[in-house]
Structure 1
Amino acid sequence: MSISTSAAPDTGRGPAEHDVRTQIIEAATAHFSHYGYDKTTVSDLAKAIGFSKAYIYKFFSSKQAIGEVICANCLGQIERDVLDALEGVQAPPERLRLLFTVIVASSLRLFFQDRRLYEIAVAAATDDWPSVQAYKHRIHQLVEEIIQAGRAAGVFESGTPLGNTSRAVYQVLVPYLNPVTLPHVSALHAEAPEALYQLVLRSLAPPA
């Protein structure tokens, strides 16, 4: 996972691209991966980097603020996977299908390749960290944009208020977006995204 110290807004105290901030995030990622988020303290990170705890607090207000950046990096990678898949694809039904299939595959791959870092994602989702709120908002917005484009092209029904439709479609994705529920649906990931997409697509079809 690439390190981006600017992925989560308003979580740090120093300049976003400062070398020390990057060093802290890299050390925290390694520490959380090895020992777990809950068992790692700011003091542990300070010892690992060779800084004082007070110096770390010049750049991050808390352990959660550090976790926010790491969480935002993970969620940002999922988003990039989705947007890369959508690039150059114009047909709204195909864009919706790719959104369903890629976001599930990317979430499973990223969250389960490192069980320790997965703990951060669970903490973030459970407490609804700002990075999670922003991610959910962007995915919901992407769903709405695809539906709106489909309506403009005449391939999706337009009788239901757009907001109601986009919320309903987004809610279908929620179990796969939330790391707390993701393990419970992971066994179905090979066929469920496509089946859910087909169900949603039928519900979006314009009246005959």
Structure 2
Amino acid sequence: MKSPHTSPPSARGPADHEVRDQIVAAATEHFSHYGYEKTTVSDLAKAIGFSKAYIYKFFESKQAIGEMICANCLREIEADVRAAVDATGRPPEKLRRMFKAIVDASLRLFFQDRKLYEIAASAAGEHWQATVAYEERIQNLLQDVVQQGRLSGDFERKTPLDETAKAIYLVMRPYLHPLQLQYNIENAEEAPAQLSSLVLRSLSP
């Protein structure tokens, strides 16, 4: 999860500037070894070989760097989820795969990139724009799947669409929100199948 391609509003300078990409790549590597909370901009400057002032030409704060890294991580999770949803044409199966992909991708971040997971946890706890935007995109994807299911006749149409999508999202949230995930890991293996089955029964026309 180290591709520096996302530009949050707090980044400075040209969006495609190779120096910013270099800073983000180096910061991702540094954070993954030493952690976000324990790393300062001065630490990053020494590790990268730039002056702190030079880094500030591209990012206004450590959080701005962390937000870009967090956005990259979340976009990779989102890409996995969208790929799983797009792999089938049937809305009920799309929903099942969406649940499983979210859990699998979130657990991969938790166990394989624990230091980067700490950035995501900080971002979620402080409501960084990267996490807010990610959750909005997931909710929009979920609403699209529900709408497709209604058009195909697989899902009921009486409940308002936004209310239905929001309720399903709240069922998913313990496994996609970093701060909640750590308290639900023991149920993560069976959760996708059980929760998606429960939701699909509630959506029956």
Pairwise TM-score range, normalised by the shorter structure: over 0.9
Letter in 1 for 2:28: T
Paired residue total: 205
Contact 1:100 1:173 (C-alpha < 8 Å) held by counterparts: yes
User: Structure 1: how far apart are the matches of 2:23 and 2:4?
Assistant: 11
Q: Cα distance, 1:111 vs. partner?
A: 2.6
Q: Cα distance, 1:153 vs. partner?
A: 1.0
User: Structure 1: how far apart are the matches of 2:90 and 2:145?
Assistant: 9
Equivalent residues in 2 for 1:39-54, closer than 5 Å: 39-54=38-53
Q: Which residue in the other structure is 1:3 paired with?
A: 3
2:23 pairs with 1:24: yes
- SS of 2:157's partner is coil
User: Structure 1: how far apart are the matches of 2:124 and 2:154?
Assistant: 34
User: Structure 2: how far apart are the matches of 1:148 and 1:87?
Assistant: 15
RMSD across aligned C-alpha pairs, in angstroms?
A: 1.1
2:154 pairs with 1:137: no
TM-score, normalised to structure 1, is 0.95
2:12 pairs with 1:13: yes
- SS of 2:182's partner is helix
Q: Cα distance, 1:4 vs. partner?
A: 2.3
Provide runs of 4+ in structure 1 moved above 6 Å.
Answer: none
Q: Cα distance, 1:9 vs. partner?
A: 2.6
Contact 2:27 2:44 (C-alpha < 8 Å) held by counterparts: yes
Q: Cα distance, 1:181 vs. partner?
A: 1.2
User: Structure 2: how far apart are the matches of 1:15 and 1:90?
Assistant: 40
Equivalent residues in 2 for 1:1-208, closer than 5 Å: 1-5=1-5, 7-206=6-205
Unaligned runs of 5+ in 1: none
Percent identity, aligned pairs only, is 59
Contact 1:8 1:131 (C-alpha < 8 Å) held by counterparts: no
